[in-house]
Structure 1
Amino acid sequence: MKSTNLTWHEATVAKQDRRNQNGHGSCVLWFTGLSGSGKSTIANAVSNELFRQGIDEYVLDGDNIRHGLNRDLGFSDADRTENIRRIGEVAKLFVDSGKIVTTAFISPFRSDRDQVRALFEEGEFIEIYIDCPIEECERRDPKKLYQKARKGEIKDFTGIHSPYEAPEKPELTIASHELTVSEAVEKILTFLEEKHII
């Protein structure tokens, strides 16, 4: 049962105070794409470069979150939606804390990503579509998930049994089958500089 006796408590230190102290903006870099497209690899490479530059950052990775916060969720449509809802709320806390948070989640449904976007102020939610043909994702298949899905060992697998709805107007599209990881990182950092986030 949901409690109705709740009141939002305003923090003494505001988001802008933290940004001012950090010397940079805060936002969520929401990486979305098929399994094997390169989301986690690129997200971590961006995070590493931001860290190297002295920028407060953190990575929320899909598999890692399912080991803890979301370990009670499966892969049904309802569980996928709840998975993304929780991540959106956690990402918002990181943005409020003045950090740049990168999230690497398939997040296959547009409506779920749109609901997360609605949590943020204008310019704080940066959707990055890691565009990679499913054939290339299957060829890479670092976790052998496509192979297992084709054999029927994994159910509700995105791209095989469950749909992936590509973003219609992402802030950035990274063709990971055409760019190196370094080129992808450079493109993302240039975007952050142009938006005066870093």
Structure 2
Amino acid sequence: MRQNHIIWHPATVTKTDRQKLNNHKSCALWFTGYSGSGKSTLANELDCQLHKLGIRSFVLDGDNIRHGLNKELGFSPKDRVENIRRVGEVAKLFVDSGQIVMTAFISPYRKDRDQVRKIFEEGEFHEIFIDCPFDVCERRDPKGLYQKARQGIIRDFTGIDSPYEPPLDPELTIDTQHHSVKQAAETIIKYLKEQNLLPN
């Protein structure tokens, strides 16, 4: 239950101040797609390219977050909702700090992604659908998770016994089946420049 005596304390240094210092806008790039679609790989390649351009950025990775902040959460529908809610709030803190934050999470439910979008200001949340066919993701199986899910070792696995709801109108769709990681990252950087989030 929310405590009535908890009052928001406004920051002296604003988000706009931090963006001016960084010489670029801040935003959340929300990567969503099946396990094995390439979310984490692409997010880290993009992070590397942004770093070379002098852009302040950070990657929030699904597995890494579950080692700490969300380590007590499982993969039930209820826990998935809470997982994404927390990540959304952390991503907003990064945006408020003036950085570009990339989140690499399956985030299978549209409702959860839409709820996260609502906590951001207009133009700060960019849903990026990492579009890779399910059968390709399963063949890749970089962590051996699909095999374990098929064997019943892992329960509530997205695409096997838990649904995935692809975005209906994402800001950007990246085809990782037919494009290299480098090409995909360059496409996102081009998009960010077109949105005036990065200097040309």
- TM above 0.5, yes or no, is yes
Task: Give the match for residue 122 of structure 1.
Answer: 122
Task: Give the match for residue 158 of structure 1.
Answer: 158
Deviations 1:63-112, CA, capped at 9 Å, x for gaps: 00000000010000000000000000000000000000000000000000
Matched letter for residue 134 of structure 2: I
Task: Give the match for residue 74 of structure 1.
Answer: 74
CA distance in 2, matches of 1:66, 1:3: 27
Task: Give the match for residue 5 of structure 1.
Answer: 5
How much has 1:183 moved relative to structure 2? Answer: 1.0
- Secondary structure of 1:174's counterpart equals strand
TM-score (norm. length: structure 2)? 0.98
Task: Give the match for residue 64 of structure 1.
Answer: 64
Is 1:100 matched up with 2:100? Answer: yes
Task: Give the match for residue 83 of structure 1.
Answer: 83
Task: Give the match for residue 173 of structure 1.
Answer: 173
Task: Give the match for residue 145 of structure 1.
Answer: 145
CA distance in 1, matches of 2:112, 2:89: 12
CA distance in 1, matches of 2:18, 2:40: 27
Matched letter for residue 28 of structure 1: A
Matched-pair identity in %: 64
How much has 1:4 moved relative to structure 2? Answer: 2.0
Question: How many residue pairs end up in the alignment?
Answer: 198
- Secondary structure of 2:66's counterpart equals helix
Runs of 4+ in 1 over 4 A off after TM superposition: none
CA distance in 2, matches of 1:186, 1:57: 15
- Secondary structure of 1:67's counterpart equals coil
Which consecutive residues of structure 1, in runs of 5 or more, have no partner in the other structure?
none
CA distance in 2, matches of 1:129, 1:178: 14
CA distance in 1, matches of 2:45, 2:121: 26
TM-score (norm. length: structure 1)? 0.99
Matched letter for residue 159 of structure 2: G
Counting only pairs closer than 5 Å after superposition, residues 19-38 of structure 1 correspond to structure 2 as 19-38=19-38
Deviations 1:34-72, CA, capped at 9 Å, x for gaps: 000000000000011001111110110000000000001
Matched letter for residue 78 of structure 1: K
- Secondary structure of 2:182's counterpart equals helix
